[in-house]
Amino acid sequence: MSRLAAVLALSALPAALAIQLPNGIGKLPALGWNSWNAYGCNIDESKLLQAANAMVSMGFKDAGYEYVISDDCWSNLDGRDNYTHQLVANATKFPQGITGTSGKIHDLGFKFGIYSSAGTKTCGGYPASLGYEEVDAATFASWGVDYLKYDNCFPSEVWYDDCLSCEADPSFSPTGIVNGSCTPSTPPVNHYSFDKPIPICPPYKWPVDGNNYTAKYTALKFRIMQQALQAQNRTILYSLCEWGVDEPWTWGNTTGSSWRMSNDINPSWSRILQILNQNSFLTNYNNFWGHNDADMLEVGNGNLTAAETRTHFGLWALMKTPLLMGTDVTKLSAHDVGVLQNKRLLAFNQDAVVGGSAAPYKWGVNEDWTFNSTFPAQYWSGASSNGTMVAMFNPLNETMKMTALYSEIPELESDGCYAVTEAWNGTDLGCKEKSVEVEVEAHDTAVLLFEGKC
């Protein structure tokens, strides 16, 4: 069997073989820190260690934050080792190589993550893993890597899913890249849009007609790296980053532990709302071992207000997205540290008994199921092992009264009486019957925990 045939045969296995790594790794959304939102390409070992040390001294480690991840730009720009074909860490940025850095991160009690791309180059233009999956997976394992963020920049032309026509040679070149002639659509079609409802159904022509994203090259590229990682004698959590273009929520669960479902976040209120709106339609795809990734946190960055920060973190936690900080931890305000370490929200995100995420039960200003990137769903609820969590989000520019009406909340009994705790401050609101009304300031989200009945 050719390698392509082998990969395609494997890809046809039933969904029952979802990725379940040993020791519960990847069962719950990852918690940690990633360099990108804080530093972009300008990284080095000292910045990673500064973050890790601050995470210890400021209580993040005790709160459950586990991974410290180097994003793009850690390697030499000019290429692989000519003899071993391995990626080479930039010696200025990582003087003792990645092994040196991962050792120090491990010594602080964290797991260590790294980045590559399913392309000829990473998004930053560094050497990437397409065609080198086996050597890279083995290299990462030998360096003590515990987590791989795998991006999708610079796919080689023959791997385009949006070829207008394509003739593939099923044999592999020495680099593992399929030879073939593709007539790509030029410019490549950007299937991604914040302004279109999901599912986005691009007019793919090849390799199959229709919208079976599991059968397409993008999913295949990500599966090739998954198999390379799985072949290593080291458990490496696999985080897919193809920006939601190819409906990764339909194949991500059989490929990795999480999948980005949208284009990149940035520290702006409008982008947070766009991603929130998009992910609000995908909550059914979340459960143990497989998570929608609404992208890394911007808490501490840009001009987000305290209220906006609570909405961002609170709804990311309730959507059970991985929670990866992306800021200079040492500069976080006391308010933002409190938000990021909120034990009720972290417990919901990390619930070992209930896997599903919260979901909207009512949109609010707009009709239910309205896809609107400035007015996402406002009323959310979700079960947890300690009770029902309800979040009410105010998109308006002024304070509004919002009511959690039990008859509308699927997890609550209409005439029930519940002990209610305000989740941000832990304020005990006492026993409440039928409904709870709260004032929610502009752009803020009230979060209430409904525990035992009264």
Ligand X SMILES: *[C@@H]1O[C@H](CO)[C@@H](O)[C@H](O)[C@H]1NC(C)=O
**CA atoms of 396 and 253, how far apart (whole Å):** 36
Judged by CB under 6 A, the residue of 325, 424, 440, 447 near ligand X is: 424
Contact call for residue 192 and ligand X (CB under 6 A): no
**CA atoms of 74 and 314, how far apart (whole Å):** 31
User: Residue 33 in contact with residue 324, Cβ under 8 Å?
Assistant: yes
- Supply 16's token pair: 């029952």
Show contacts with ligand X in window 135-174 (CB under 6 A).
Answer: 169, 171, 173
Of the chain, the end-to-end C-alpha distance in Å amounts to 65
Show contacts with ligand X in window 387-416 (CB under 6 A).
Answer: 395-397
Q: How many residues bind ligand X (CB under 6 A)?
A: 49
**What minimum distance in Å lies between the beta carbon of 444 and ligand X?**
7
**What minimum distance in Å lies between the beta carbon of 387 and ligand X?**
8
**CA atoms of 7 and 255, how far apart (whole Å):** 13
- Residue 75 phi/psi, 5-degree rounding, is -100, 175
Contact call for residue 99 and ligand X (CB under 6 A): no
When CB distances to ligand X are compared, the closest residue is 18
User: Residue 172 in contact with residue 178, Cβ under 8 Å?
Assistant: yes
- Residue 117 phi/psi, 5-degree rounding, is -135, 145
169 has catalytic annotation: no
User: Residue 298 in contact with residue 269, Cβ under 8 Å?
Assistant: no
Binding string, 293-332, against ligand X, x = CB under 6 A? ---------xx-----------------------------
Single-letter code of the amino acid located at 130: L
Binding string, 261-280, against ligand X, x = CB under 6 A? ------xx------------
151 has catalytic annotation: yes
Binding string, 210-249, against ligand X, x = CB under 6 A? --x-xx-----------------x----------------
Which residues lie across from 439 on neighbouring strands? 401
Judged by CB under 6 A, the residue of 53, 235, 287, 341 near ligand X is: 287
User: Smaller CB distance to ligand X: residue 80 or 434?
Assistant: 80
Contact call for residue 12 and ligand X (CB under 6 A): yes
Contact call for residue 64 and ligand X (CB under 6 A): no
**What minimum distance in Å lies between the beta carbon of 7 and ligand X?**
11
From 136, 146, 151, 162, active-site residue: 151
Judged by CB under 6 A, the residue of 60, 222, 281, 289 near ligand X is: 289
Find all residues with CB under 8 Å of 210, minimum gap 6, and list them.
204
**CA atoms of 226 and 68, how far apart (whole Å):** 21
User: Residue 137 in contact with residue 231, Cβ under 8 Å?
Assistant: yes
User: Residue 272 in contact with residue 312, Cβ under 8 Å?
Assistant: yes
User: Locate tokens 């409440």: which residue?
Assistant: 432
Contact call for residue 334 and ligand X (CB under 6 A): no
Q: How many other CB atoms are there within 10 angstroms of residue 190's CB atom? A: 10
User: Residue 134 in contact with residue 105, Cβ under 8 Å?
Assistant: no
**What minimum distance in Å lies between the beta carbon of 217 and ligand X?**
12
Contact call for residue 422 and ligand X (CB under 6 A): yes
**What minimum distance in Å lies between the beta carbon of 265 and ligand X?**
12
Judged by CB under 6 A, the residue of 57, 385, 403, 414 near ligand X is: 385
**CA atoms of 254 and 18, how far apart (whole Å):** 4
**CA atoms of 418 and 337, how far apart (whole Å):** 29
User: Locate tokens 């279109």: which residue?
Assistant: 196
Catalytic residues: 151, 264
Chain contacts with ligand X (rule: CB under 6 A): 11-12, 18, 20, 76-79, 81-82, 90, 92-93, 169, 171, 173, 179, 212, 214-215, 233, 253, 267-268, 285, 287-290, 302-303, 347-348, 351, 365-366, 372, 374-375, 384-386, 395-397, 422, 424-425, 427
